[in-house]
A and B are shown apart, each in its own frame.
Chain A
Amino acid sequence: MKTVEEIHKIREEKRKELDLRVNTSADTREKHILVCHGTGCTSSKSPKILENFKKIIKEKNIENVRVIKTGCFGLCAKGPIVIIRPEDTFYAMVNPEDCEEIIQTHIVEGKKVERLLCKDVDGKMVNRLDDLNFYKKQKRIALKNCGIINPENIDEYIAFDGYKAIEKVLKEMSQDEVIKVISDSGLRGRGGAGFPTGKKWELTKIVEGKQKYVVCNADEGDPGAFMDRSILEGDPHCVLEAMAIAGYAIGADKGYIYVRAEYPIAVQRLKIAIEQARNYGLLGKNIFDTDFSFDIEIRLGAGAFVCGEETALLESIEGKRGQPRLKPPFPAQRGLWGKPTLINNVETYANITKIILNGAEWYSAIGTEKSKGTKVFALGGNVNNIGLVEVPMGTTLREIVYDIGGGLPNGRDFKAAQTGGPSGGCIPKEHLDTPIDYESLKEIGSMMGSGGMIIMDDTKCMVNLARFYLEFTVSESCGKCTPCRIGTKRMLEILERLCDGKGTKEDLTKLDKLAHMIAKASVCGLGQCAPNPVISTMKYFKDEFEEHAIDKNCRTSECKAISKITIDPEKCKGCGLCQRSCPVNAIKGEGRDKRIIDQDKCIKCGTCLNNCPFKAIS
């Protein structure tokens, strides 16, 4: 247990010590070598890099250098990432064998290891992290501490205003005042639906009840999304603190974090964080010498997408099959074990402490009219800078894909962006300039979702993509209600027929009708949103669906059964690259001849398609 004074002292002293992490002109002789330990970098050997650094520093007896494990820096495509502060030098794709050279050249001789410096998409070498285009347009609120602090050290969190918000709340604010600040900030649920957070808190507060619960939804099931995981891995304490604040606001003394068992690192860091917070008296009885007590437990999921739905999640915490409940009653009235329960997602909680400390006005000044603040997206797929980006609401898709994401690799054209995962939709090229917020995405047939954003180039077949999502929904449907259980299966069968070239024109009408029916009649969000990928792709890529159904042709050759790959003689320059890459020698022609594909030999593997520099093959 630490006294309030001791916490203050830790904050003051540690903040001075860690100033070099955030201040490039910090007056110090010390250097901190930060090694990313997010899931991405960990799987490409960053723990070994950390170990090597420590070993070498010890062997060489180098002083004033510390090696620190941090959370995700965001630019996962360049991992493993090593950053040296205060100068903010960014080394990308570091191997464990490179440690020696970094220490010798950078630390001892004071020069940069040029071959390891990160290169921007345009090939320009970047000295500092902040110079990367990837970071320039970002605004980090939820991810503020990620990549700066050691997530397994509570002192480092405290140094950067950690547990300051809860102290302020407990000592200076009433429950209603807390709720008012959150309401005024305009923060909306970051799990996807965008329900106003302050309203949710208020609804849970006004319900009478001795026992109430605060739940954190960390069941990030949307494939292709890893925002929540990165927050838990990089800054677990900010979630704990926010949950305690929520507990105070609604009158609860117990919290549960429901986290996917597929995220072992996040689970581990949460466990450590909870333990440390308890030891410091920041969780438990009489926090900051007040009457307020709050404790948190972790509950592991077991692999079911539907458990991201709030009522299914509650069922799962209770140890049952994760099948959604009928609403109303809403969890605010009858949640966990029938008690009033507040459920928010990880990213929502990650904003809370910052809003409390900086004020509602500060937060509501960021973003658009109806969507305030920032949103974290997990940018993935066919884009150069794969990683985690946090941008103000209202940033356009074009800015995210081209300015931050660095465009598409291999000079390919943008075809669509998928947001919202299996519940969202595809955004085509013509909507690239739409400012992204909850309303605008809904208007164009997609949804914010939890923040997965997958970019697809022109080699991707939209019918096949719709099939992929339906396959997902069918296997994840809990089976409780008929429209979702049987309806999605029927939709999948139609899509499979289309991909196999066995579809008909009537199938398209049927598919459309079925989609709207399921959206209206399903019990929970999973079923209601399941047809979204189909509805949106059918809307924007109708011609592709018709090609599959009527002409039995897939223009991208992804649907192997019906694809026919041809070379456009107008565009072919006769370079022969396709010919050399063809594994079955199906391409004919010599010298500068225009090449022709022998359809009988072609196995439609698509290798030539990816190799043609003139995009002559389709």
Chain B
Amino acid sequence: MNETKCSQKIQDDFLKEIYKTYKPEKDNLIQILNEVQEHFGYIPKYTQLQLSGFLKMPMAEIFGVITFYSRFTLEPKGKYTISVCLGTACFVKGSQKILDRLKERLKIEPGQTTEDGMFSLDETRCVGACGLAPVFTVNGEVYGKATVQKLDQVLDELENKK
């Protein structure tokens, strides 16, 4: 559910479920935002506004929380989010080469999405699979002992799936 920006109706439907699970208390904000991010792939402005009413807190404060945490994004992600682990173990094993190759092939910088909405590129700090370093993930699935060749193969496959 993350290809296009979602309509207010879809957001309202989802929020109805949220209102059932969570009490309208401020300390639930991060938990709710995690669910929204998971579901929509980003946190739409309309949802922020609705949550502001539900939790009785200024939208600016919600915006502040969203921009503080790296998991939350304000723009929709691409169909495939590729994250390169830049934890120390991966760094030592050459994850920079993987990231450089991705930047070169996708022609985007970390944090950006390709124009066709296919790929988003992220840097992540340690997914905890240090035994397989260097690693990158595609929509959460971990690819270990990565090499530039292996990455190319994965990218080719994903592009062909288009």
A contact residues vs B (CB 8 Å cutoff): 39-40, 42-44, 76-77, 79, 220-226, 229, 261-264, 299-305, 316-322, 378, 380-382, 386-387, 418, 421, 452, 454-456, 460, 468, 472, 476, 478
Contacts and interface: CB of A to CB of B under 8 A. Distances in A.
A418 B88 contact: yes
Contacts of B68: 304, 321-322, 478
Interface string B116-152: 0000000011111111110100001111100000000
A321 B64 contact: yes
Contacts of A381: 88-89, 92-93, 133
Q: Which 6 residue pairs across A and B have the least CB separation, nearest first?
A: A76-B131, A223-B87, A43-B142, A380-B89, A302-B69, A224-B88
Contacts of B141: 43
Contacts of B28: 319
Contact of A223 (B27, B33, B88): B88
A266 to B, nearest CB: 8
B117 to A, nearest CB: 23
A73 to B, nearest CB: 11
Contacts of A221: 125-126
Nearest to B65: A321
16 contacts: A43-B142, A221-B125, A223-B86, A223-B90, A226-B130, A301-B69, A304-B69, A304-B70, A319-B30, A380-B92, A386-B130, A386-B131, A452-B89, A454-B89, A460-B92, A472-B125
Nearest to A454: B88
A305 B133 CA distance: 20
A155 B125 CA distance: 35
Interface string B53-93: 00000000000110011111000000000000011111111
Contacts of A42: 142
A190 B158 CA distance: 42
Contact of B127 (A76, A262, A317, A319): A262
A226 B128 contact: yes
A454 B26 contact: no
Report the interface size class on chain B.
35 or more
Contacts of B21: none
Between A76, A263, A299, A319, the greatest number of chain B beta carbons within 10 A of the residue's beta carbon is seen for: A319
Interface string B32-48: 01100000000000000
Contact of A303 (B69, B91, B129): B69
Contact of A299 (B31, B129, B130, B140): B31
Nearest to B25: A319
Contacts of B131: 40, 76-77, 79, 380, 386-387
B125 A316 contact: no
A229 B126 CA distance: 11
A319 B65 contact: yes
Contacts of A382: 92-93
Contacts of B27: 317-319
Contact of A262 (B26, B88, B128, B133): B128
B106 interface: no
B128 A39 contact: yes
B42 to A, nearest CB: 13
Nearest to B140: A264
Given A76-B131, A319-B28, A468 B34 contact: no
A300 B68 CA distance: 15
Given A301-B69, A302-B70, A386-B89, 16 more contacts: A43-B135, A220-B128, A222-B126, A223-B87, A223-B89, A302-B71, A302-B72, A303-B69, A303-B125, A318-B27, A319-B28, A319-B65, A380-B130, A382-B93, A386-B131, A476-B125
A223 B126 contact: yes
Given A418-B88, A421-B88, A43 B30 contact: no
A325 to B, nearest CB: 15
A534 to B, nearest CB: 15
A76 B89 CA distance: 13
Contacts of B26: 318-319
Nearest to B34: A300
B71 A261 contact: yes
A570 B22 CA distance: 72
Contacts of B135: 43
Contact of B92 (A40, A387, A456, A478): A456
A318 B29 CA distance: 8
Contact of A224 (B34, B65, B89): B89
Contact of A229 (B29, B91, B128, B143): B128
Contact of B31 (A76, A229, A300, A380): A300
